[in-house]
Structure 1
Amino acid sequence: MPYTKIVVGLLLSFVVGIACRLTHIPVPSPPVLSGALLVLMMSTGYWLVDRYCQLRAADNKDLCAGHAIEKK
């Protein structure tokens, strides 16, 4: 499933938010809209770069000689 990281990240963020609220610990992010947008944009950037690197690796796979131990 290609979106597993995103789903797990969202679930983890909700769990951390709930735990912080129930235990009265300050949330580890700025409590303003700009802080939430910053976290969203950082997560989106990470995801986009990850996707780009996967596509680039797939495009160049035929140029790679592979691992020396691999059987062909």
Structure 2
Amino acid sequence: MRDLIIAIALGLGIGSACRWFDLPLPAPPKLVGALLVLAMTLGFAAADQWLAVGA
């Protein structure tokens, strides 16, 4: 739960800083790139769960 709160706070902080300093968002501008980021995130979360069960 703590990790989720930290991740959300970090995401909001980066997004706010980009908006405040008028920087482009550090995200891919195309749908394929966004899906790649989503797939990597889901893979990381799945591996984390899988390793937690095995330990």
Tell whether the structures are fold-level matches, with TM greater than 0.5. yes
The whole-number CA distance in structure 2 between the counterparts of 1:43 and 1:6 is 13
**Structure with more of its chain in helix, by fraction:** 2
Please state how far the C-alpha of 1:33 moved relative to its aligned partner. Answer: 4.1
Please give the per-residue CA displacement for 1:27-50, whole angstroms capped at 9, x wherever unaligned.
Answer: 111134443333233222211101
Please state how far the C-alpha of 1:13 moved relative to its aligned partner. Answer: 1.1
Higher RCO (C-alpha under 8 Å, 6+ residues apart): 1
Unaligned runs of 5+ in 1: 58-72
- Aligned-residue sequence identity (percent) comes to 36
Q: Please identify the structure whose Cα radius of gyration is greater.
A: 1
Unaligned runs of 5+ in 2: none
With the length of structure 1 as denominator, give the TM-score of the two structures.
Answer: 0.58
With the length of structure 2 as denominator, give the TM-score of the two structures.
Answer: 0.70
Ranges of 4+ aligned residues in structure 1 off by more than 4 Å:
none
| Alpha-carbon RMSD | 1.8
The whole-number CA distance in structure 2 between the counterparts of 1:37 and 1:14 is 20
Which residue is equivalent to 1:13? 11
